[in-house]
Structure 1
Amino acid sequence: MARNRKRIFWLAVLLSLLLPSAWLGISRADEASPSPIVQQMVEAVSEPALADHILHLQDDPHQPGLDAEGSRHSFSPGLALAAEYIGQHFATAGLTVELDPFVRQGTVMTNVVGTLAGVGPGDDLIYILCAHYDSIANRTPGWDPATDPAPGADDNGSGTAAVLEAARVLGQHHFAHTLRFIAFAGEEQGLWGSAHYAQEARRAGDDIRGVINLDMIGWDSDGDRVIELHVGTDPASEALANRFTTALSTYELDLVPQTFTTDAIGLSDHASFWAQGYPAFLGIEDTEFGGPTADFNPYYHTVGDTFDKLDMAFVTAFTRAAVATLAELAEPLTTDVAIALGGPAMVRVGTILTYTLTYSNVGALIASGVVITDDLPLGLSYQADDSGLPHVEWAPQVHRWEVGELSPGDGDSFVVTTTVGVDLAPGTLLTNTAEIGTASLEGRVDNNSSTLMTVVFWGLYLPLIN
């Protein structure tokens, strides 16, 4: 017996040196990677949907078909029609829609606000994606705002379309913090709508943690994919912009950011939030307001600012970056089912080998259709388990248990009993993989499987007696 103990001891020492830690039942985390749930949101952004919004925003609805004869000038009837269009799409996205009216020069104008309320104790923290939806074409000689078109496809149909599409994509999910999607009026006359909104937000004590303002995101005539982020010098605004640039690399979006701090411009709605002490930045195409690449849109504020001039792949990438940034800031709430497989590092030929399967929902939402599978290695024979769950061997050596619905924080464990075949050679590695899955959308999948390797060693074989 002493000799056998020595052999087993030195075999265990050798295995601990040679075998990877995962084989001995020690978990190893995967390398950092993009959030699977956020990746799905990014990929859900639709270029055709963005294009459709811009085409409708530049359209004159009083004429048949889609054209570029419309106007969303702040003092034109088209502004109210655009507000109605935006509100309808916010509602379709499942947002709570509010109209935020204000009066300038005797005219009522309306900001359109869509809110996706956060869930849980962090719902009072607010992140905003915004764009102005009014347009102007005063650089066109002889232009009359009362009668002439101001299609504003790039300025700022592109930014408005991004807000609408982001609302559609993010509105299908739950987040810990509140998201607001806002289309501002009266920007071209002096940031009227955003100034009104930001002042009221500060007066109400809204805890706005970040504002991403998109204004002109469709022009890239030289194809260099350069964008500008006008951040200012506030550390919180810089941190917000850093999250945006990180999202570009994390989700492999084809944009090249240039960040402006002391030379940042304040000529768009982000400046209204700066004035109230809220973190904000402007995302805009390469305007040559401070960069060396000279790619300013020559159709800016003219009747020539139409859809056919835009680079829709550029608009799509910009929108995806905003979606990724907002999603990560707001913290998606998802299901997250996990499994861990436990068992011995070594087992004797011809004996009983038991595995413990521990499963749980470590996410924030209920997981439905939860299923566990265990792919037993050849050489083992399933005997029983104490799960109490519906069980079937649905493929050779593959056992399946139906868990069903699993609430957040819930879970359990059960033991699977097997026998080790007497014909297995000493040193055989028994690789067992248990997996868990759900019909619900998960925020991560790296904890959906667990693998254990057990080494068969020499030992006295005694027949099992039932």
Structure 2
Amino acid sequence: MPRLRIAAGLVAGLFAASSHAASSAPAAPDVTRHQAQIDKIVAEISPKRIDAYIRKLVSFETRHTMSDTTSETTGIGAARRWIRSELERCGAGTSLQVSFDSHIAPVSARISRPTEIVNVVATLPGTQDASKDRLYVVSGHYDSRNTDVMDASGKAPGANDDASGTAAVMEMACVMAKYKFDATLVFMAVAAEEQGLLGAGHWAKTAREKNLNVAGMFTNDIIGSSRADDGRVDNKQVRLFAQGVPATKEMSDTVRQLVATGGENDSISRQLARHVKEQGERYVKGFKVNVIQRHDRYLRGGDHMPFLEQGYAALRFTEPNEDFSHQHQNLRTENGKVYGDLIEFVDVDYTAKVAKVNAAALASLALAPSAPQGAKVRTDKLVNDSTLVWQANPEPDVAGYRIVWRDTTAAGWQGSKFVGNVTETTINMSKDNYFFGVQAVDKDGNVSVASYPAPLR
């Protein structure tokens, strides 16, 4: 039989599905329609406010981790107090809870004296009992640096790296605080990224120690410029870095199972990235989310990495083409060329588009059910169809489940079928020829991240 090429829009009638509860799949909720709440959130993201946030952060002259903490106008102390006060101001009258998350970092390669590291954390609690303990975290780092990473006094405006990401997170928090979500959203301006991911690392480690259910994390780091170092302008896409199999000396049982079944491209971060791409491109028309199948750029890192190390799904947003003359550079002009991370090199309209993608993805995740647990594919019989099983979701508004699939050479899902409110179904497609996922769908058509089915013997 010739191999079938499956287009996403043509699959509904091509393959029969059966379940223990019904002989044919029931009518599915409309999973393609826009959610009115998400459209409103995306429309409210303001380039003007983002520009004002970036300019204010730049005005502190330096936000180096070991810079002044007592001044009200310069240094990292003034910056973090302003971020907190601004989030408290815009969150007044809402459920947004703003606090400092602080710890003392000991002397290390990039910390010359014991230093207080302070994250500014704004939490918007979820409203559904079955979902409120499920967290989605979004961050930008508010510290900055010069060429010498230990220079705590020289001017380091950090407009793009990373006032842009911090401003985007602040704008998201202020806009989204006015709305209700099933799951909890955590907006963070983290510190000491440039000194070794210390602020994010502390929060992620604490989250794991508390066994918090962080279902997904985004960091926005260097999302402020649409212009490459050769002058090209690309304001219609963003890079989204997504880790596959982690580079560890020893594999966990989960990772070993992925490798054993060829699922290296089905890690929890890659599943999250597929969801972000789909929702971001749905709500921000004409803008592409370009999933990069690496954990980050070569020999570099960001605040998503401590979350990956703790076993959480985490992603990094970064502009498509970095200009390194405006990154980690002392302010100067040489041979007519201006160096330094200045506000004049930031494209706030582009930054706002990236913020809109973030907001759409976060909102869709926090409105949707959780990814189904215990997904497995039966392998105890030699048959050419595929039977999948999973555990029922706890959310009361789940309408049912859908199976998604793709060719083994494809990066994104190519087909789907709603199979009803059941926990087992059979698809007339060979498990040997396709990758499958199981998603939960609520009554409003919100869809969860896909769960990869492990083999069940």
TM-score range, shorter chain: 0.5 to 0.7
Secondary structure of the 1:91 match is: helix
Match of 2:116 among 89, 95, 108: 108
Measured after TM superposition, the shift of residue 147 of structure 1 is 2.9
Task: Report the equivalent of 1:132.
Answer: 141
- Aligned partners of 1:144 and 1:124: how far apart in 2? 39
TM-score w.r.t. the length of structure 2 is 0.60
Q: How does 1:23-422 map to 2 (within 5 A)?
A: 32-60=32-60, 70-77=61-68, 78-92=75-89, 93=91, 94=94, 95-104=96-105, 105=107, 106-121=114-129, 122-138=131-147, 145-221=151-227, 222-224=232-234, 225-233=236-244, 235-262=267-294, 264-265=296-297, 267-287=301-321, 295-302=322-329, 303=331, 304-331=340-367
CA contact (8 A) 1:174 1:332 kept: no
CA contact (8 A) 2:277 2:290 kept: no
1:370-422: CA deviations, max 9, x gaps?
Answer: xxxxxxxxxxxxxxxxxxxxxxxxxxxxxxxxxxxxxxxxxxxxxxxxxxxxx
Q: Which has the larger radius of gyration?
A: 1
Secondary structure of the 2:189 match is: strand
CA contact (8 A) 1:154 1:219 kept: yes
Unpaired runs of at least 5, structure 2: 1-26, 69-74, 108-113, 246-266, 332-339, 370-395, 398-442, 446-457
1:35-76: CA deviations, max 9, x gaps?
Answer: 11100100000111000000000003xxxxxxxxx1000000
Measured after TM superposition, the shift of residue 262 of structure 1 is 4.2
Secondary structure of the 1:98 match is: strand
Which structure has the higher relative contact order (CA within 8 Å, separation 6+)?
2
Which amino acid letter does the alignment assign opposite residue 32 of structure 1? Answer: T
CA contact (8 A) 2:281 2:357 kept: no
CA contact (8 A) 2:127 2:180 kept: yes
Measured after TM superposition, the shift of residue 253 of structure 1 is 3.7
Measured after TM superposition, the shift of residue 31 of structure 1 is 8.9
1:259-294: CA deviations, max 9, x gaps?
Answer: 22246346000000000000000000124xxxxxxx
Secondary structure of the 1:161 match is: helix
Which amino acid letter does the alignment assign opposite residue 107 of structure 1? Answer: T
Task: Report the equivalent of 1:345.
Answer: none
Aligned residues: 294
- Aligned partners of 2:30 and 2:121: how far apart in 1? 40
Task: Report the equivalent of 2:16.
Answer: none
Which amino acid letter does the alignment assign opposite residue 63 of structure 2? Answer: R
1:137-167: CA deviations, max 9, x gaps?
Answer: 116xxx9824321100000000000000000
Kindly tell me: are residues 32 and 160 of structure 1, through their superposed partners in 2, closer, same or farther at Cα, counting changes over 3 Å? same
Which amino acid letter does the alignment assign opposite residue 125 of structure 1? Answer: R
Secondary structure of the 2:325 match is: coil
Secondary structure of the 2:196 match is: coil
Question: What percent of counterpart residues are identical?
Answer: 29
* Root-mean-square deviation (Å): 2.7
- Aligned partners of 1:191 and 1:86: how far apart in 2? 19
Kindly tell me: are residues 173 and 331 of structure 1, through their superposed partners in 2, closer, same or farther at Cα, counting changes over 3 Å? same
Secondary structure of the 1:246 match is: helix
Secondary structure of the 2:208 match is: helix
- Aligned partners of 1:322 and 1:253: how far apart in 2? 14
Kindly tell me: are residues 83 and 261 of structure 1, through their superposed partners in 2, closer, same or farther at Cα, counting changes over 3 Å? same
TM-score w.r.t. the length of structure 1 is 0.59
1:54-113: CA deviations, max 9, x gaps?
Answer: 0000003xxxxxxxxx10000002111111111112222242112111112311120111
CA contact (8 A) 1:208 1:278 kept: yes
CA contact (8 A) 1:37 1:444 kept: no
- Aligned partners of 1:271 and 1:168: how far apart in 2? 26
Measured after TM superposition, the shift of residue 189 of structure 1 is 0.9
